[in-house]
Structure 1
Amino acid sequence: MTPVDDTLTPITRQRLMPAGSWNWHIPTPFSQGWRVGDTVFVGGQLSADEDGNVVGEGDIEVQTRNVFEAVTRVLESGGATWRDVVKLNTYYCCNETGAAVREFWEKMTRIRLQYLPTPGPAGTAVRVAGLMYDGFLIEVEAIAVVGSGDAITTT
């Protein structure tokens, strides 16, 4: 049996539920985010009002800005900023083809770049058939490490 090390400080956990964020229309235990030690986990943010209704239906630019503002609120409630974000996952719905897909992507990315510092986080973008409800075009989740904003870059 391994002895317990009583000298270790327990890691603190803080539930992040900033004002103005949407909530489920049915009771659930889900959270907008969590701060665990110096790490902030932002749950999937949608372009929704406080009642969960779609904001900016059919408009990827409006939805992207709204989603990134929601991520910002969760980050700030955990003591982080966009400079602290180390991982960004984006899920987006685009049922177009050809040049229309590129146009959709460019509109979304122009808004995203207004929030992301240089150098930016590690990122993943996944094109999906649908999100939680019809009308949502983008969902974003992030991981940040508080105080890591001054990145060391290598070439």
Structure 2
Amino acid sequence: MSIESPYSAEPKASPPLVQRTASSALALLSGGLHACVRALLTLPDQDIASAIELVKVSVYYVLEQPIQLQALRECLQKALGDGPPVTATFIPLPRLNDNQQVVCDAYFLTNRAKMPERVARLEGAPIAETTTARVVDGLRCGELAWCSGQIGLLEQDGTSVTEQTRQTLNKLSRTLELMGLSAAQVVKFNTWRAPPPSQQDYTQAAKLRFDWLSATDAAVTGITVPLSLHEANALIQIEVWAHADTTRQRLYPEDHWHWPSPTPYAQGVSVGRWVFVGGQAALDAGGAVLSPQSYAEQRTITLQYVAAVLKQAGASESDCLARLEYHTSARTSPSREATQVPVVHLAYPNQLIEVDAIAWR
């Protein structure tokens, strides 16, 4: 068992959001989840423990065989026990570092008890049906909200990523609506997708995402997972963060990298005191990968891009509350400043790292 608390060495005064990470090498998924949750919820500082509460957890796990999302949520529900609602996303991977089987990336909110809450539970969604279920489809605390990772499957067309994307976005829209929000208020849009059956299918699915995000400048991170997601033939999973304030600043610094093909995405968004940085990569203005053979150089370039997006919003790296690094390198230097997740490959050939971040100015 290992646990990391990014930013714990020099914590900011009363940060509104706390990121903590735990991992387990236990082969049994249920045992690994229990071990991670126990570590995450055991805080050494009682003053901190009494001030923060879990609101979201991302579970990265080594996939041995397809498993239903409902079963995963029920497993996490048992590990969490009774308590206030949380959102959850489960991401299957072929491997994790150091023979780990489960990595939990968790987010805790400060003074949650003082905030008005709204909970969203979708009818027919893969979640416990009782209103006391702790793992929910959506959770809003004050101005911030989270939607659990959603998938879409059609019985008559289980291989179409286009239709799965359509269903998934519809679920997210309903979840946001139950919390008094809409797609226009999304600030962070995270996608995990298996390789699409065809380029045409991928292009059509991407257009659906572009259209859904057309009213917002959300920070976007997209990761390819070389496996079906949970159930067999599940090809895409999406989760979102939202903020009630629709007044926001689109972040796209000059001399920044660009996607190889035109997209409506921003590099980040600033709303209130929050700054959300989308997945950054070591690409140039034409979308070509820089330093394709060097993980260290790509990481340096990528973190410089993160800093540039933060700077445009009037923030700096010292304002970061959370950072997530996806990498394809088999071995990386451990970081106390980020959760590190290994993947087989990223969006572009020879891309070795992608980083996103959340800051509070």
Could you tell me the TM-score, scaled by structure 1's length?
Answer: 0.71
The list of structure 1 runs, each at least 4 consecutive aligned residues, that deviate by more than 4 angstroms after superposition, is none
Q: Is 2:352 the counterpart of 1:137?
A: yes
Match of 1:18 among 245, 253, 256: 253
Please say if residues 260 and 288 of structure 2, whose CA atoms lie closer than 8 Å, have aligned partners that are also in contact: no
Q: Distance in 2 between matches of 1:68 and 1:59?
A: 14
2:263 corresponds to: 28
Q: Distance in 2 between matches of 1:83 and 1:74?
A: 13
Q: Distance in 2 between matches of 1:12 and 1:56?
A: 37
> What is the correspondence of 1:73-152 to structure 2 with a 5 Å cutoff?
73-94=308-329, 96=330, 101=331, 105-106=332-333, 123-146=338-361
1:41 corresponds to: 276
CA RMSD of aligned residues (A): 1.6
Cα drift, residue 12 of structure 1: 2.5
Q: Distance in 1 between matches of 2:246 and 2:278?
A: 20
Cα drift, residue 76 of structure 1: 0.1
Q: Distance in 1 between matches of 2:264 and 2:246?
A: 21
Please say if residues 11 and 37 of structure 1, whose CA atoms lie closer than 8 Å, have aligned partners that are also in contact: no
1:4-50 CA distances to partner (integer Å, 9 max, x unpaired)? xxxxxx55200000011111232211110000111000000001111
* Unmatched tracts of structure 2, length 5 or more: 1-244
1:56-102 CA distances to partner (integer Å, 9 max, x unpaired)? 111011101000000010000011001100000000002x4xxxx2x
2:304 corresponds to: 69
Q: Is 2:51 the counterpart of 1:51?
A: no
Secondary structure at the aligned position of 2:311 is classed as: helix
2:267 partner amino acid: Q
Secondary structure at the aligned position of 1:80 is classed as: coil
* Unmatched tracts of structure 1, length 5 or more: 1-9, 114-119, 147-155
Larger radius of gyration: 2
Could you tell me the TM-score, scaled by structure 2's length?
Answer: 0.31
Q: Distance in 2 between matches of 1:36 and 1:132?
A: 27
2:360 partner amino acid: V
Aligned-pair identity in percent equals 38
2:38 corresponds to: none
